[in-house]
Structure 1
Amino acid sequence: MSSLLTNSAAMTALQTLTATNKKMEVTQNRISTGQRVSTAADNAAYWSIATTMRSDNKALSAVQDALGLGAATVDVMYTALNSTVDIVSEIKAKVTAAAQPGVDRGKIQSEIAELQNQLTTISNSSVFNGENWLAFDSTDAAAAANREVVSSFTRTATGAVSLETTTVQITNTLLIDSGADTGILDEDRSGTYALAGASVTGVSVMTVNVNAAAADANTAADMQQLVGLVDAALSDITDAATNLGAIKNRIGLQQDFVKGLKDSIDRGVGQLVDADMNAESTRLQALQVQQQLGIQALSIANSNSQNILSLFR
């Protein structure tokens, strides 16, 4: 039945065209944003997961920055300790040379004094971001407190989050103690290495003095004590450098892990919400054809009413 009031064909064509236009809007939104789930209305469950994981990834970025800061600080201290090892080794060699009869200990002591000054310079200048783990006052609780380096961010199955840290005991790296002389270089070691003569003095690496003020029958024995004293300090410095080296490697491994974890989260989120651009572009082409056909069908359906007019001519 042909009716002027109700055009069923036009209504059907309009519904089809409207549905096609809606599909085109969805497809165009996916192409413009690159996501098939860009709002909660698209897929509430996936959008919620993706939003939470993106937030966690931002926290991991902060952890990565903190690790970078910690790594830089440790690297400065580690480099300084390595330099200290070389200088203390030189002092050990000078003391050993001074044990030889007939050498000019005054000139050797001048060289040792310059090396000691260099040790002070290295310890005091090993500062990064206001932190110095090699020279500070051990009687100051704040200065001697352990340092915490943020190393990871985790979220449990219940949704609770936590930060994990790596502890650095800086009292183990202290070279020069401005408060109590308990550093590796200024520690009083006379209890273990007692000097019997007057020609050599020193209770720590920083006070070693091989200059012969007078003839002394105990010079050789005292030199042996000084060599032992310097060697003991060198062993302690080596241990401190080893500990820092282990922490340096630990932070480096954690940096690599956090970077890989961030990339994994990005890939996981992408699998949930990213649009397949190849599929979407193909779908858009098909919908454009459907839209054109829908417009054509609507035009034909609307022309049916005009055909009725010819019956009355």
Structure 2
Amino acid sequence: MTSILTNIAANSALQTLNTINNDLETTQGRVSSGFKVSRAADNVAYWSISTTMNSDNKALNAAADALGVGAAKIDTAYSAMESAIDVVNEIKAKLVTATESSTDRSQIQLEVTKLQEQLSSIAQGASFAGENRMVADGVTTGVVVDGFVRSATGVAVTTATYDIASYALFDSINSGVGTDGTDHY
């Protein structure tokens, strides 16, 4: 007869080592990938959620970039408008000075003309990413990304529309001089 001697303690230790080895492989996989669930076989539900979140994160980054570009466009127009207000205030001061009888009105007119040219230059230089919100130049509206929405049907980037034709400082710039300035106010 044949007898196989088994060592119960050795078998138990071998099972423990196999379990530790499997757990170590799992842990190493998580450390190397950076994910607790790196593939669908690990946990289908978590993997699906993780994949959706990664996709949304990339979409959010793209939306954040678009928001940054939109903010820069608006900031450029805002800075130009502040500069234009300063020039218009100088023109107003020159006109008040021209009401005095002892002033040289031809000299004041020359200064006002130079300030008008400066105003045209400010409007013309207020361009960012190919858009100028200070000179309409045939463009009626501008669009800026203003948000990101996730719904049951998918993801979408939302936009805001700006009426450039109504609020631009000039309709066009011809030979360096702004024409048909805003008369909405």
Shorter-chain TM band: 0.7 to 0.9
Match of 2:161 among 134, 145, 167: 167
| Greater per-residue strand proportion | 2
Once the two structures are TM-superposed, the CA of residue 78 in structure 1 deviates from its matched residue by 0.7
* Alignment CA distance shift 1:177-1:14 (3 Å): same
Runs of at least 4 residues of structure 1 off by over 6 A?
Answer: none
Residue 33 of structure 1: CA displacement? 3.5
Do residues 178 (structure 1) and 176 (structure 2) align?
Answer: no
SS of equivalent residue, structure 2 residue 65: helix
| Map of 2:102 onto structure 1 | 102
CA RMSD across the alignment: 2.5
- Residue 148 of structure 1 aligns with an amino acid whose one-letter code is V
SS at structure 1 position matched to 2:131:
coil
| Matched residue SS, 1:35 | coil
CA apart distance, 1:12: 5.6
**TM-score of the aligned structures, taking structure 1 as reference length:** 0.52
Shift of 1:13: 5.1
**Structure ID, larger Rg:** 1
Change (3 A) 1:2 1:182: farther
Paired residues in the alignment total 179
Whole-angstrom CA distance in 2 between matches of 1:155 and 1:102: 68
> Structure 1 unaligned runs (5+)?
188-232, 237-313
Structure with the bigger RCO (C-alpha within 8 Å, sep 6+) is 1
- Alignment counterpart, residue 153 of structure 1, candidates 148, 158, 162: 148
Q: Match of 2:125?
A: 125
The question of whether the paired residues in 1 share the 8 Å contact of 2:40 and 2:47 is answered with yes
Contact 1:67–1:150 (Cα < 8 Å) also in 2: yes
Give the Cα separation in 2 of the matches to 1:57 and 1:109: 58
Give the Cα separation in 1 of the matches to 2:22 and 2:34. 18
Cα deviation digits, residues 253-309 of structure 1 (max 9, x gap): xxxxxxxxxxxxxxxxxxxxxxxxxxxxxxxxxxxxxxxxxxxxxxxxxxxxxxxxx
Contact in 1 for aligned 2:165/2:171 (Cα 8 Å): no
How far does residue 2 in structure 1 lie from its aligned partner after superposition? Answer: 7.4
Task: Note the alpha carbon deviations across 1:136-189, whole angstroms, 9 max, x for none.
Answer: 33xx3xx22x21111222112x3432221122111232112239x5431xx5xx
Structure 2, unaligned stretches of length 5 or more?
Answer: 174-178
Partner secondary structure for residue 151 of structure 1? strand
Name the CA distance, whole Å, in 2 between partners of 1:8 and 1:85. 94
Contact 1:91 1:115 in 2 (8 A): yes
Corresponding residue for residue 31 of structure 2: 31
Aligned AA for 2:95? V
Q: Is the 8 A contact 2:136 2:164 kept in 1?
A: no
